[in-house]
Amino acid sequence: MRGWLYTVSNRVFAMAPHMKDPTCGRLLDHPEIKASAYGVYEYAGNKIVFCSQDCKEKFEKDPDPHYAGFLLWQHENFRDPVCAKEMIYDEAKSAFPKGYAFPNNGMGISKHKDHVFFFHGEDCKKAFDGNPDKYHADWIAWREGMIKEVDAQVKTEGRHELVHLPGYDPDNP
């Protein structure tokens, strides 16, 4: 199955095969997206999907916090917590495989304090596992800064139009 691509700061990342509802945070897989009566939308150049009419209406009423959360999610899930490297497409494309579980993408995964991390290299995973509290604390500090950055980006950009993409096929973008 081909992956969805999105850009952050002119870098291409994979987001497949799931899409995240920006309102409730639910991950939807390709069959759910294709069967959804709510369809795929574009907002500020990002493809988004809603799991229900209620989520779509909430987004339309006040898109800024939901869009900011969506952007933060993109950054969080493609950043190695040890070396701070943001993954490129080839490294990140297996980050969200079929199903809702995070994969062991060959580099390993670690879970710590209700967060799931994946790594671009085995050395980073070993370092994290050797001192997870330190790297988790560093990640939390990074996340706080990223929240401010994303909020500023959303305020600077202003509101965008939510554009329906009828017939959009996540398997053939």
Q: DSSP letter string over 139-169?
A: HHHHHHHHHHHHHHHHHHH-----EE-TT--
Mean pLDDT across the chain: 75
Q: Which residues contact 105 (CB under 8 A, 6 or more apart)?
A: 94, 95, 118
pLDDT over 90 at 4, yes or no: no
Per-residue pLDDT at 171: 62
pLDDT over 80 at 147, yes or no: yes
Could you state, in order of their start, the residue ranges of all structural domains in the chain?
Answer: 5-161
Per-residue pLDDT at 128: 95
Burial class, 39, CB count within 10 angstroms (exposed 0-12 / middle 13-18 / buried 19+):
middle
The candidate with the shortest Cα–Cα distance to 113, out of 93, 136, 134, is 136
Distance (Å, whole) CA 88 – CA 13: 6
User: What digits encode the pLDDT tens for the residues 58-100?
Assistant: 999 999 999 998 888 777 766 889 988 876 544 444 444 434 3
Q: How many beta carbons lie within 10 A of that of residue 89, not counting itself?
A: 13
pLDDT band at residue 149 using 50, 70 and 90 as cut-offs: very high
CA 23 to chain centre: 13
User: What digits encode the pLDDT tens for the residues 153-163?
Assistant: 999 999 999 99
